[in-house]
Structure 1
């Protein structure tokens, strides 16, 4: 797995050797960023189930200002730290080793706001909609914030109050990426 484009392009990333995480493949990542736009002009990114940190790092590589990378798994956070070091711009990343719910509460207390959010939790159907609604209630989303929800091909999310689905992509055989915008 590698960083595909931008200022950190072609750097190989470390991944966790475990079946507890599902790294987003380079092919899926490339298709995802092609649909979001190739490059960006600032803003804050949140990857709430970061795994290796690849999506947040890719977003910063392509022009976002900074990324907050959250994972409950200690080994995943150690991998994220190694990957962030590869950027040589560690100050642009914040790594949080905690539950997603605790991270959202902390971000609310710190009055942080995000422009792009990646959600790829282990139990997608139950978590994605709850996380989106909670982020909205806590005031964590900037105007027109984009949320990228990655699921398997068996998960239906349906309408989520406060958000409009703007894209629905089947990427590969088993991956669906849904892109939402805050209303």
Structure 2
């Protein structure tokens, strides 16, 4: 696992040391960022179910100002801290060990909103519809912001989630799908 482009291009990232987390492959990450914008001029990101933090770190490397990482697993949180520290990104990040729904509620109370929201929960264990409803309820997505859902290719996500239309859907390697809502 590595950072694909931007300020930290080529830097290695530590994976979470367990078999429960499946990091986004470099190929999928590269294709995803070609779709959502190869580079950014600032902005805020939220990486729910962050695992090693690879998607949020990639966004920062490409110009996002700040990213909030959320995961409930201690090994994932430690890995995110290690990766953030190795790249000296402490000033551009916040890391929370909590459930995604609690994190969204807390972000809403802080009046936070995001340009990019990455959703990569354990496949077929969490409802994307419920996640996006909570994003809407807490007003976490900025106008023209994007919600990026990584999911099993067999799982079909609808043309709209909580009133937000599907912008792009791609399948990679026959097993991983990315659905982007904007």
Ranges in structure 1 where 5+ consecutive residues have no aligned partner: none
Cα distance in 2 for residues equivalent to 1:112 and 1:141: 9
TM-superposition CA deviations, 1:120-154 (whole Å, max 9, x none): 11144742111111111111111111010000111
Corresponding residue of 1:152: 152
TM-superposition CA deviations, 1:42-62 (whole Å, max 9, x none): 110001110000000000100
Q: Does 1:36 align with 2:44?
A: no
User: What secondary structure is seen at the aligned counterpart in 2 of 1:50?
Assistant: coil
Aligned counterparts, 1:117-156, within 5 A: 117-124=117-124, 126-156=126-156
Is contact 1:125-1:156 (8 Å) kept? no
Cα distance in 1 for residues equivalent to 2:126 and 2:49: 14
Greater mean deviation of Cα atoms: 162-171 or 124-133: 124-133
Ranges in structure 2 where 5+ consecutive residues have no aligned partner: none
Cα distance in 1 for residues equivalent to 2:145 and 2:39: 16
TM-score computed with the length of structure 2 as normaliser? 0.96
Corresponding residue of 2:165: 164
Cα distance in 2 for residues equivalent to 1:4 and 1:40: 14
Cα distance in 1 for residues equivalent to 2:105 and 2:161: 21
Cα distance in 1 for residues equivalent to 2:151 and 2:124: 6
TM-superposition CA deviations, 1:66-90 (whole Å, max 9, x none): 0000000001000000000122131
TM-score computed with the length of structure 1 as normaliser? 0.95
Q: Does 1:82 align with 2:82?
A: yes
User: What secondary structure is seen at the aligned counterpart in 1 of 2:161?
Assistant: coil
Cα distance in 2 for residues equivalent to 1:137 and 1:105: 9
Cα distance in 1 for residues equivalent to 2:101 and 2:89: 27
Cα distance in 1 for residues equivalent to 2:56 and 2:126: 23
Cα distance in 2 for residues equivalent to 1:125 and 1:177: 16
